[in-house]
């Protein structure tokens, strides 16, 4: 099968590798990127042989012979690129967030409803063995109906959002859209309920300062004492080169949201970007009348605490690979099946649209100190 790429960045390269692990017959045969020349050099003559490079997505689509397209541009371009692909009805793999503004979100929703294309949104967490076990236990009725959720994401590798291009909020849309979009999705998926309202707060307490804008870690006179300097390690290439305590450093460094669902129950979620090492963690507690489920992707452990007996069940759920807890491999398999026409998307665009809407509402709530209805009529 022939795959086309729009935006050949690190994340999409990773997903291509995951796809080829599942189905070696999948080959990248077309790339559209503003860095085409650089990519050709990186791939070398052998790997770039048989790959056509295009200046625009329209040229790539018009050339034909593609079984699937993956979008891996910077976040602010996700919607615009998807709008070019959807009319072709070629199966699409789309990175999150699917949109970073209300205007883009509405345009994307309209195009999706018009063309009905198959879209696999990059939501690996719900596809992990850990989340699937939680879904299975909830469905069994063992803990009763879930009536409260406490979810947390303490990001141990949060420096990427302050050292490199992710620090530009015009590109990211803020960290609810960058991180919470995954968590809002898996929470909603596990509950099987529609969100109705959301309120949120965000703070910037650590990654702020008066260092000059544009300052790089290697040019900083404090590079040898700064705990977050990338100048002394190989992290610079992965994280970025800019000072995270400069006046032009964007993004909040913590945020929290409370989500109400249609049954009346609510979920709380909190994310943090300056926790490090063993302080990192990502998971949730889901509480029913009969028991509580607790899980964490950092430990791959899930526990079930029964409320009315002295019983605790502990599961160690080891994924087949460590990429997003095993979720990327599931996404790859599903996209291959979608390209073959043997399955529908397990993370369809309507779920990506809902998660992005929730994130935008959370961002608005945090900035205006108001409750926000999660619907398409108020924006």
Locate 7 and state its tokens: 């935006």
CATH number of the domain to which 183 belongs: 3.30.360.10
Task: Answer for the pair 55, 47: CB distance below 8 angstroms, yes or no.
Answer: no
Residues 148 and 272 in one domain: yes
Starting at the edge strand found earlier in the chain, the sheet holding 92-94 runs 52-54, 27-32, 2-6, 68-71, 92-94, 119-121
**pLDDT recorded at residue 347:** 97
Residues 165 and 274 in one domain: yes
Which of 2-16, 76-90, 194-208, 229-243 is least confident?
229-243
Considering the domain boundaries, does residue 349 fall inside one?
A: no
Q: Tell me the C-alpha distance between 287 and 305, whole Å.
A: 9
* Closest C-alpha to 124, from 353, 270, 292, 333: 333
**pLDDT recorded at residue 44:** 79
Average pLDDT rounded to a whole number, residues 202-219: 93
Tell me which residue range forms the domain holding 231.
208-249
* Closest C-alpha to 94, from 7, 179, 195: 7
Length of the chain: 379
Q: Tell me the C-alpha distance between 165 and 235, whole Å.
A: 15
**pLDDT recorded at residue 48:** 74
List of residues 6+ apart from 273 with CB closer than 8 A: 155, 158, 161, 162, 175, 207, 251, 252, 253, 254
**Please, which pLDDT band fits residue 325 given cuts at 50, 70 and 90?**
confident
pLDDT in tens, 143-199: 999 999 999 999 999 999 999 999 998 888 999 999 999 999 999 999 999 999 999
**Please, which pLDDT band fits residue 138 given cuts at 50, 70 and 90?**
very high
Residues 292 and 180 in one domain: yes
In whole angstroms, how far apart are CA 271 and each of 39, 157, 309?
A: 35, 12, 33
The separation between the first and the last C-alpha atoms of the chain, rounded to the nearest angstrom, is 41
**pLDDT recorded at residue 379:** 57
Considering the domain boundaries, does residue 215 fall inside one?
A: yes
Considering the domain boundaries, does residue 147 fall inside one?
A: yes
**Please, which pLDDT band fits residue 71 given cuts at 50, 70 and 90?**
very high
Find out whether the peptide bond into 202 is cis, omega within 30 degrees of 0: no
Helix (H, G, I), strand (E, B) or coil at 322: coil
pTM: 0.94
Considering the domain boundaries, does residue 218 fall inside one?
A: yes
How much of the chain, in percent, has pLDDT values that exceed 70? 96
Helix (H, G, I), strand (E, B) or coil at 351: helix
Q: Tell me the C-alpha distance between 65 and 45, whole Å.
A: 22
**pLDDT recorded at residue 42:** 83
């Amino acid at each position: 099968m022939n795959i086309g790429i729009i935006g050949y960045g690190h994340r999409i390269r990773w997903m291509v590798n995951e796809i080829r692990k599942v189905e070696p017959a999948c080959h990248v045969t077309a790339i559209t990127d503003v860095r085409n020349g650089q990519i050709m050099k990186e791939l070398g003559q052998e790997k770039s042989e048989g790959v056509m490079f295009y200046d625009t997505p329209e040229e790539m689509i018009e050339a034909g012979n593609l079984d699937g397209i993956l979008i891996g541009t910077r976040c602010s371009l996700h919607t615009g690129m998807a709008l070019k692909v959807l009319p072709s009805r070629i199966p699409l793999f789309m990175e999150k967030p699917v949109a970073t503004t209300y205007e883009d979100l509405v345009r994307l929703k309209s195009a999706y409803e018009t063309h009905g294309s198959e879209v696999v949104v990059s939501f690996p967490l719900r596809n992990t063995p850990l989340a699937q076990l939680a879904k299975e236990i909830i469905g069994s009725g063992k803990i009763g109906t879930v009536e409260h959720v406490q979810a947390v994401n303490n990001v141990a590798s949060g420096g990427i959002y302050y050292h490199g291009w992710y620090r530009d909020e015009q590109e990211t849309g803020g960290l609810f859209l960058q991180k919470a979009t995954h968590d809002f999705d898996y929470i909603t998926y596990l509950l099987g309920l529609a969100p109705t309202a959301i309120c949120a707060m965000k703070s910037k307490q650590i990654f702020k300062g008066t260092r000059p804008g544009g300052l790089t870690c290697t040019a900083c006179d404090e590079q040898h004492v700064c705990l977050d300097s990338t100048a002394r390690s190989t992290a610079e290439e992965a994280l970025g080169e800019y000072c995270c305590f400069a006046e032009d450093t964007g993004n909040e460094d913590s945020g929290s949201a409370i989500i109400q669902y249609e049954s009346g129950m609510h979920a709380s979620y909190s994310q943090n970007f300056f926790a490090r090492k063993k302080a990192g963690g990502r998971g949730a507690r889901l509480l029913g009348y009969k028991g509580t489920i607790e899980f964490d992707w950092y430990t791959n452990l899930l526990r079930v605490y029964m409320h009315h007996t002295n019983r605790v069940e502990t599961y160690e759920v080891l994924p087949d690979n460590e990429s997003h807890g095993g979720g990327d491999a599931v996404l790859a398999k599903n996209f291959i099946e979608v390209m073959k026409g043997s399955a529908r998307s397990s993370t369809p665009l309507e779920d990506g649209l809902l998660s992005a809407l929730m994130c935008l509402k959370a961002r608005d709530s945090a900035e205006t100190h108001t409750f926000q209805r999660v619907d398409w009529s108020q924006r």
